[in-house]
Chains A and B, each alone.
Chain A
Amino acid sequence: MLKIGIASGKGGTGKTTVATNLARVGRERVCYVDCDVEEPNGHLFLKPEISETLHVTVPVPRIDIPRCNFCGMCRDVCRFNALAVLFKSVLVFDELCHSCGGCALVCPFGAIQEEPREIGIVEKGKSNGIFFLGGRLNVGEAMAPPLIRAVKREIPRKELVLIDASPGTSCPVITALQEVDYCLLVTEPTPFGLHDLRLAVEMVRKISIPFGVVINRDGIGNADTEHYCSAENIPVLMRIPDDRRIAEAYSRGEMIVDTLPEIKSKFTDLLGKLLDCKESLSPVSGPERGLYQR
């Protein structure tokens, strides 16, 4: 089982385009996982038939007031200020709670129970042979990582698992990329794109995941991105040209590998490269050849 993360520093570079179209050419061999739980888009292109919906909850404390002595130990132990203890009442601020369980453990009177609170859903389905898995965070929830972990727990055994991450380099992306074997960083060859690509490269190096780059909208901007990749010995695994037809197809929610055959062959090639190297991919440093990059 090969797990590939698709990430980027900058938003809107084409992560979902790359992930869904790769899934499309891989078909039954693939599980597509939408870990951009704040703004999931994979389903717009893969249009899966959803067979199961899981409601994901996190535990939050509930105080049994008759047992409570208002000693304040739960409040003292909470590092997130999610509890306020008053003379005869206790307030719980669910939105600040990180569900660590510390308060329930510390209460000397056994007055705290943890109860589930829903934060979002996980959907499972099928799309032309592809196993589809996607998370959707409830609007107003601040924290994505607990839902991302819940989505990833549902990943079945498949030859190729494609994990579509959210943009950026902070905790939701790190959570999505945990235990991934290889990462594709999707970028655009513009100053903003390059600036954020450098951040993304720092990120995958920090978590020791081998990676390669996909350049989308190749032709715009300048050559700085290509120079950067070659100076850093970073393999550029695919280039998608800047083509208005691609943008228009994307805008309509179409799969570009279906609409444009010349693009399909690029994705088939990329799929081949990824599957061929799976035996020799290691999560720490590998030789600087082919797909590897320290």
Chain B
Amino acid sequence: MRDPNYAFAYLDERTKRMIRRAILKAVAIPGYQVPFGSREMPLPYGWGTGGIQVTAAILGPRDVLKVIDQGADDTVNAVNIRRFFERTAGVATTERTRDATIIQTRHRIPETPLTERQIIVYQVPVPEPLQRLEPREAETRRMHALADYGLMHVKLYEDVARYGHVSTTYDYPVLVNGRYVMAPSPIPKFDNPKMHMNPALQLFGAGREKRIYAVPPYTSVESLAFEDHPFEAQRWHKPCALCGAADSFLDEVVTDDRGGRMFVCSDTDYCGERRQRKEAA
């Protein structure tokens, strides 16, 4: 039931229009961080306020919303955000990736391939991929403007020289549409290849840092690497202990206090659907 005390999806229409304009600009310049007048949301900064504002701006009454955190629908923050939109927008929600029109996510891309009629909204803590190398925004802005990404390549090179491989495992930098280096948000690099030529619109919201950026459908997203050290995603030796999937990101679950471990899909919907299908067969 929608709470009549608040505007549809919480934000007033003027604020939503401002956010939509930022989104349009972001879509027009793939990978470019568009500054926007981020508002204080009733959830804390760092807990998905950017994603929430983007979702609020694009949500319509007929949308079906899915919210995941770490790939799961039932983690506390995902539950909280889903409830927020149930309360303020009264929209239908789902845990099934296939049924959703908008998927708001933190730290994962669903295993089930997305389609053209879907939008995925990423919650972004740090939108600036160069921030750890250069904390001054005035500088990083200049570097993006000149496509001067030498600093990033040197960092990756130093990793290779020191460890024999790139030591970034999540929030692994990507080059979008051959132009802007972009932070994919803290998804594991396992998910990076899913961003490439994805049929769905991918929107990124960073509330605290007040930036929105986007990857339009069917846009090239290339994980940074070297010819002799190509990009490599994580792999597991065993399939999921619950559904047997060999193609999904696995979480390590501690099963007892004697070092027992099992590996299961982090995407709970994907895992559940596979198990259901197995049972039915």
Q: Do A and B bind each other?
A: no
| B binding-site residues for A, Cβ under 8 Å | none
